[in-house]
Structure 1
Amino acid sequence: MASQKRKTDTFSLFKRLAKDILSPPPDLTVSEWADTYRKLSSESSAEPGQWRTDRAPYQREIMDTITDPNFEDIVIMASAQVGKSEIILNAVGYHIDYDPAPILIIQPTEQKAKDFSTERLAPMLRDSPALRNKVSDVKTRDGGNTKLQKSFPGGYVALGGANAPAGLASRPIRILLADEIDRFPASAGTEGDPLDLAEKRTNNFYNRKKIKVSTPTNKGSSRIETEFNLSTKEYYHLPCPSCGDYQPLKWEQIDFETESHRCRECGFLHNEYEWKDQKGKWVAEEPGANIRGFHLNELLSPWSKWGKIIDAFKKAKVKGPEAMKVWVNTSLGETWEEQGEQLDEADLFNRREEYEADIPEEVKILTAAVDVQDDRFEVEVMGWGAGKESWGIEYHQIYGDLKQQKIWDELDEYLSRTWEKSDGRKFGIACTCMDSGGHFTQEVYTFTRPREPRRIYAIKGKSVQMGEYVPLIAGYTRPKPSKTLLIHLGVNDGKSRVMSNLQLGEFGPNYCHFPKGRGYNQKYFEGLTAERLETRYTKGVPYQVWKKIRARNEPLDLRVYNTAALEILNPNLEKEYTLAPKIRRKKRRTASRGIE
Structure 2
Amino acid sequence: MAAKRKSNNTASLFRDIVKSAVAPPPDLTVSEWADAYRKLSSESSAEPGQWRTDRAPYQREIMDAVNDPEYEKIVIMSSAQVGKTELILNTLGYHVDFDPGPILVVQPTVALAQSFSKERLAPMIRDTPAIKHKIADAKSRDSGNTTLQKSFPGGYIVLAGANAPSGLASRPIRILLADEIDRFPVSAGTEGDPLSLAEKRTNNFYNRKKIFVSTPTIKGASRIETEYELSTMEEWTLSCPSCGEYQPLKFAQIHFDSVSMSCSCCGALHDEYEWKRSPGKWIARNPDARSRGFHLNEFASPWKKWQEIINDFLDAKKKGQEAMKVWVNTSLGETWEEETEEVDTESLENRREEYGAELPDRVKVLTAAVDTQDDRFEIEVVGWGAGRESWGIEYHVIHGDLKTEKPWQELDEYLSRTWSKTDGKRFGIAITCMDSGGHFTGEVYRFTKARENRRVYAIKGRSDAKGQYTPLVAGYTRTKPIKAVLVSLGVAEGKARVMSNIRVPEFGPNYCHFPIGRGYDANYFLGLTAEALVTKYEKGVAYKVWKKIRNRNEPLDLRVYNTAALEILNPDLSSDKEYAIGGGVRKKKKRRTSSKGVK
Q: Could you tell me whether the CA contact under 8 Å between 1:342 and 1:533 is conserved in 2?
A: no
The residue aligned with 1:404 is 404
Structure 1 counterpart SS, 2:346:
helix
Q: Could you tell me whether the CA contact under 8 Å between 1:389 and 1:508 is conserved in 2?
A: yes
Q: Distance in 1 between matches of 2:111 and 2:542?
A: 24
Give 1:139 deviation, angstroms. Answer: 3.2
Q: Could you tell me whether the CA contact under 8 Å between 1:260 and 1:271 is conserved in 2?
A: yes
Q: Distance in 2 between matches of 1:540 and 1:434?
A: 37
Q: Distance in 2 between matches of 1:80 and 1:207?
A: 30
The residue aligned with 2:578 is 576
Change (3 A) 1:43 1:148: same
Corresponding letter in the other structure for 1:414: Y
Give 1:407 deviation, angstroms. Answer: 1.6
Q: Distance in 1 between matches of 2:427 and 2:268?
A: 57
Give 1:403 deviation, angstroms. Answer: 1.8
Deviations 1:286-334 (A, max 9, x none): 1100110000000000000000100111111111111111111110001
1:215 aligns with 2:215: yes
The residue aligned with 1:289 is 289
Corresponding letter in the other structure for 1:338: E
Deviations 1:369-399 (A, max 9, x none): 0111111111100001111110000001111
Give 1:195 deviation, angstroms. Answer: 0.4
The residue aligned with 1:424 is 424
Deviations 1:87-145 (A, max 9, x none): 01111111111111111111111111111111111111111111212222333443622
Give 1:463 deviation, angstroms. Answer: 4.5
Structure 1 counterpart SS, 2:265:
coil
Q: Distance in 2 between matches of 1:239 and 1:41?
A: 33
Q: Distance in 2 between matches of 1:90 and 1:342?
A: 47
Q: Distance in 1 between matches of 2:130 and 2:199?
A: 29
State how many pairs are aligned.
581
Where in structure 2 are there 5+ consecutive unaligned residues? 1-11
1:117 aligns with 2:141: no
Q: Could you tell me whether the CA contact under 8 Å between 1:529 and 1:556 is conserved in 2?
A: yes
Q: Distance in 2 between matches of 1:103 and 1:58?
A: 25
Q: Distance in 1 between matches of 2:162 and 2:347?
A: 41
The residue aligned with 2:349 is 349
Change (3 A) 1:20 1:108: closer
The residue aligned with 1:519 is 519
Deviates more, 1:128-137 or 1:502-511: 128-137
Q: Distance in 2 between matches of 1:145 and 1:538?
A: 36
Q: Distance in 2 between matches of 1:26 and 1:183?
A: 36
Structure 2 counterpart SS, 1:428:
strand
The residue aligned with 1:587 is 592
1:249 aligns with 2:249: yes
Q: Compute the RMSD of aligned alpha carbons.
A: 1.9
Structure 1 counterpart SS, 2:488:
strand
Deviates more, 1:202-211 or 1:150-159: 150-159
Q: How does 1:123-142 map to 2 (within 5 A)?
A: 123-142=123-142
Q: Distance in 2 between matches of 1:134 and 1:103?
A: 15
The residue aligned with 2:543 is 543
The residue aligned with 2:196 is 196
Q: Could you tell me whether the CA contact under 8 Å between 1:570 and 1:592 is conserved in 2?
A: no
Corresponding letter in the other structure for 1:108: P
Corresponding letter in the other structure for 2:63: M
Q: Could you tell me whether the CA contact under 8 Å between 2:137 and 2:143 is conserved in 1?
A: no
Change (3 A) 1:411 1:143: farther
Corresponding letter in the other structure for 1:393: I
Q: How does 1:134-173 map to 2 (within 5 A)?
A: 134-142=134-142, 144-173=144-173
Q: Distance in 1 between matches of 2:240 and 2:409?
A: 72
Deviations 1:316-373 (A, max 9, x none): 1111111111111110001111124421222211111111011111111110001111
Structure 2 counterpart SS, 1:368:
strand
Q: Distance in 2 between matches of 1:17 and 1:448?
A: 70
The residue aligned with 2:225 is 225
Q: How does 1:244-323 map to 2 (within 5 A)?
A: 244-323=244-323
Give 1:560 deviation, angstroms. Answer: 0.5
Where in structure 1 are there 5+ consecutive unaligned residues? 1-12
Q: Distance in 2 between matches of 1:152 and 1:515?
A: 67
Corresponding letter in the other structure for 1:522: A
Q: Could you tell me whether the CA contact under 8 Å between 2:535 and 2:545 is conserved in 1?
A: yes
Q: Distance in 2 between matches of 1:122 and 1:262?
A: 43
Q: Distance in 2 between matches of 1:277 and 1:422?
A: 60
The residue aligned with 1:7 is none
